[in-house]
Amino acid sequence: MTPLPSRHNDERIYTIPRPWAQYAAGWARSTVLFSGGGPDLPTIAALKPDLILDGVGFSDSEGYEQLSKIAPTVVRASRDSGNSWQAVTRSVGAALGRSARAEQVVAEFEARLAKVASENPRFKGKRLVLASYSDPTEAVYVFEPRSPEMQFFASLGFTVPQMTQRVDPARFSNLDVDVLIWDMATEKEEKAVIEADPRLNTLRMIKEKRAVYIDGDLAYAFSFPSVLSFQYALERITPLLQAVPG
């Protein structure tokens, strides 16, 4: 069986603007740079920026040093460092001298998340896991509770259990929760592989249709969490969660 590509190592994620960016004021006047090989430093330098914000990326120390030589740079350290979308929004607001506006944006979206949670009481307390599956010979990667993605689901009322981040194929039964979200880039192909895998298709939530499959822009909205991408994600993931039986 040919292994499927993992979106986490897929350079194509840099090749097109994502739709939630268009929610931002001034998008039409923006210069959009996308490169699969990392930041285009000469082009960025030629734009003579006053400030560089990499709030939803995960720059390493070398990347930060390169960018900070061009202009003052604000970066996010790592995916699992506990940097919430709230923290990213506040740091960007502070860097722009618009902390009051950042607090308003945070409060507005937190209120929206709370409204969706109150409108869907059946979400409350349900155990939810977000997992990535790319190769039937490899372990399943499970997102940890403090990650921004899982905190998003916790905001909707779900319980996000602490689990081993890499689940061995022989222990897939550990994924037997109330809702299992498969995070992927190629839904049709990967869904078929998952449902054909004898280690997975016997799981209760697979048989009971309590697995949710996300791909494309929806998956990428969770990859690069921000107040804009999470607004986009909320609109699209809510009906999928509402359709889960039980």
In order of their start, the domains of the chain are 119-242 (3.40.50.1980)
A 10 A CB-CB count for 46 gives 11
d(C-alpha 72, C-alpha 95), whole Å: 9
Mean pLDDT of the chain: 80
Report the predicted TM-score, pTM, of the whole model to 2 decimal places: 0.82
Give the residue among 144, 205, 194, 206 at the shortest CA–CA distance from 169: 194
pLDDT at 186: 55
Residue 46: half-sphere exposure toward Cβ, Cα within 13 Å? 7
Between residues 27 and 229, the one the model is more confident about: 229
pLDDT tens, residue by residue, 4-45: 333 444 444 344 567 887 766 666 666 766 655 667 888 889
pLDDT tens, residue by residue, 106-142: 999 999 999 999 999 999 999 999 998 767 677 888 9
pLDDT at 55: 57
Percent of the chain with pLDDT over 70: 77
**pLDDT tier for residue 163 given thresholds of 50, 70 and 90:** confident
